[in-house]
Structure formats: structure tokens, C-alpha cells
Amino acid sequence: MDLIYAPVNLTQDIETCIKFRKDTWNVSYGSVANFSKEETINWFNHLKAESPNGFLHVWYNEQIIGQLEFKFIGENTSEVKMGYVYLFYLSPEYRGTGLGQKIHDYTLELLANNDCGGAMLRYIPGNATAEKFYIKNGWSKSGNINPKRGQLMNKYFNE
């Protein structure tokens, strides 16, 4: 199962990006009632400008099946350069096939190869599947749950 990671082409694939983010919203919150297409497009434009190497589509068998959104954030309070993962996304029909693990591992390897000592992410606590996946992969909860942003998790690569 070879995956290809390529920069997102927003002009060509904006609807795919929106579809993936909308599905993520639905899985996390149980509804798309408060999903904003306009805010999502603004986010994509920001990410593409600020972190073009961290806005990738995942291709498999000549089709887009996933999306990665991350950035390198520099030094944190522990003086370790960290990465921040905004999104690991895999289309529903490919979940449970091992491809999510490959996407996760690829992202962390990319961060580590860019001098990051670890990574951070947030997940919405109602998303039990994500929580289980992250814990299985050595992520640790950090701090209290933020009602709007969810639970922060950290993973240090040298541990």
C-alpha cells in the first residue's frame, strides 16, 4: 500500500478539502450544524500561506483519500522545537485498514526529520476513536480540556 503525499492544490481541490473538514467536524461534534464553509476556506488560505509544506493530500490508487495539516512551531516552554498537527484525515472507507497508521507515522517522521523533538495536537473528547488511536501511539494528554478547542496532547520523539 504505497501512499503519495503531495501539496494541496486549493484551486483544483477546494471542494475535496471542504468535504474532508466537514466530515472531521461531523465525527468530532456529531453534527455539521455549526460548520462554516467560509471560515474553513479562510483557514485553508492561511495554512497554505503560512505552512505550505504542512498542507498535504494523501493519494492512494490515483485518488485523494486523506489530508494532513501541520506546522513547525519552534520552541515551546520546554525549549524543544515542536510540530503542531491540526488534522490527520482519512476517508471513511479507508479507516481501519492500517493507512491511518501510515499517515500518522509519516507525519511524525517528517516532523522529527525537521528537528522537532515532539508534536502537539488537539482532539474533541467526544471523538473516542481518535482518543484511542492517539493513546495507542504514545500521545499523552496535557492540561485540562478547553471547551472550544478540546484536549491537548503531546508526543515527544525521544521518549
Q: Specify whether the CB–CB gap between 132 and 123 falls below 8 A.
A: no
CATH architecture of the domain formed by 4-156: 3-Layer(aba) Sandwich (3.40)
pLDDT in tens, 100-137: 999 999 999 999 998 899 999 999 988 889 999 999 99
Q: CA–CA distance from 152 to each of 20, 25, 26, 98, 142 (Å)?
A: 22, 17, 19, 24, 5
Judge if pTM exceeds 0.85: yes
pLDDT in tens, 14-50: 999 999 999 999 998 889 999 999 999 999 999 999 9
- Residue 58, Cα to own-chain centre: how many angstroms? 12
Q: Specify whether the CB–CB gap between 157 and 108 falls below 8 A.
A: yes
